[in-house]
């Protein structure tokens, strides 16, 4: 039995036979009842039975039409759902294709970044003991600002392209493809960015350095936040 039949009031294949059975039974019952009383009253059997029979036929016909209408509406819904799924599948497959093509270019650009300087900055950052004001962290961020910005700006430019590709997909599909992008670009990228975020919070808490190096810190903040939106905020 199809989905259409199971969700309509009466399975379409049984409507006509059932209607005929009901019609015969009703006609027989009415005929017998009228015939029994016809002898006591001055009227003809068929004069009484015919209007009643027409009413029964009308009800059965309405039921059949309504059942056919419900089946048709269900079929239309199934077709719409199928079209929607097909569109999503096409969009997902297209996005995968574009992403793998773009990754070839992104990997080349990523390698051209002076990642060694960025890693050295992180290495210094992680080895230093934490002081009371953690000013050394701010100093490192300022001293390595150009290298950090190059790293983040390059990635932000690349991820802007991927955001455009992912924009037509639903959140679950975007999450899957973001993970593919990040893992293919660099499996160590997410841990590196988490280390930066862990230490970057000390800059926000240091008002003196924020005032002294406002332009550099503001530019750093803008690019770090933008990259974090792509890498860590999977709702976007």
CA nearest neighbour of 230 among 159, 153, 168, 177: 159
pLDDT level of residue 68 (50, 70, 90 thresholds): confident
Distance CA(178)–CA(169), nearest Å, equals 11
Report the pLDDT value the prediction gives residue 209, as an integer from 0 to 100: 66
Rg (CA), the chain: 37
**Residue 115 CA: distances (Å) to CA of 43, 139, 163:** 105, 19, 23
pLDDT surpasses 70 at 185: yes
pLDDT level of residue 4 (50, 70, 90 thresholds): very low
Q: How many residues are there in the chain?
A: 236
Contact yes or no for 1/11 (Cβ under 8 A): yes
**Average pLDDT, stretch 176-195?**
89
pLDDT level of residue 129 (50, 70, 90 thresholds): low
CA nearest neighbour of 149 among 121, 186, 128: 121
Lowest mean pLDDT among 37-46, 162-171, 198-207: 37-46
Distance CA(87)–CA(75), nearest Å, equals 18
CA distance between the termini of the chain: 42
Report the pLDDT value the prediction gives residue 99, as an integer from 0 to 100: 95
Taking only the tens place, the pLDDT of each residue in 78-128 is 888 787 778 888 889 999 999 999 999 999 888 887 677 777 777 776 666
Question: Which of the two residues, 172 and 233, has the higher pLDDT score?
Answer: 172
Report the pLDDT value the prediction gives residue 128, as an integer from 0 to 100: 61
pLDDT surpasses 90 at 216: no
Distance CA(43)–CA(51), nearest Å, equals 14
Report the pLDDT value the prediction gives residue 2, as an integer from 0 to 100: 43
- The rounded percent of the chain whose pLDDT value lies above 90 is 19
pLDDT level of residue 160 (50, 70, 90 thresholds): very high
pLDDT surpasses 80 at 52: no
Q: Is the pTM of this model over 0.85?
A: no
pLDDT level of residue 44 (50, 70, 90 thresholds): low
Report the pLDDT value the prediction gives residue 59, as an integer from 0 to 100: 73
Report the pLDDT value the prediction gives residue 6, as an integer from 0 to 100: 46
Annotated domain spans of the chain:
3-85, 113-232
Question: Which of the two residues, 191 and 46, has the higher pLDDT score?
Answer: 191
CA angle (138, 213, 151) in 5-degree steps: 65
- Residue 115: phi and psi, rounded to 5, are -65, -25
**Residue 19 CA: distances (Å) to CA of 54, 56, 100:** 13, 10, 60
Report the pLDDT value the prediction gives residue 76, as an integer from 0 to 100: 84
Contact yes or no for 110/154 (Cβ under 8 A): yes
């Amino acid at each position: 039995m199809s989905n259409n039949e199971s969700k309509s009031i009466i399975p379409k294949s049984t409507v006509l036979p059932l209607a005929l059975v009901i019609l015969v039974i009703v006609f027989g019952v009415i005929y017998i009842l009228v015939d029994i009383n016809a002898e006591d009253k001055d009227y003809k059997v068929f004069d009484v039975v015919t209007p009643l029979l027409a009413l029964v036929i009308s009800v059965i016909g309405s039921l059949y039409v309504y059942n056919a209408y419900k089946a048709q509406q269900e079929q239309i819904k199934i077709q719409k759902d199928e079209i929607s799924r097909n569109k999503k599948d096409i969009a997902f497959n297209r996005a995968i294709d574009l992403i793998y093509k773009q990754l070839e270019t992104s990997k080349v650009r990523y390698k051209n970044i002076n990642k060694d300087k960025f890693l050295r900055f992180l290495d210094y950052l992680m080895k230093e003991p934490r002081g009371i004001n953690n000013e050394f962290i701010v100093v490192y961020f300022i001293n390595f600002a150009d290298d950090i910005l190059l790293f983040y700006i390059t990635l932000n430019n690349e991820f802007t392209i991927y955001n455009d590709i992912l924009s037509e997909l639903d959140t679950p599909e975007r999450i899957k493809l973001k993970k593919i992008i990040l893992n293919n670009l660099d499996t160590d990228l997410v841990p590196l960015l988490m280390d930066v975020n862990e230490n970057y919070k000390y800059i926000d808490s240091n008002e003196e350095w924020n005032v002294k190096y406002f332009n550099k810190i503001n530019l750093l903040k803008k690019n770090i936040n933008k990259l974090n939106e792509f890498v860590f905020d999977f709702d976007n």
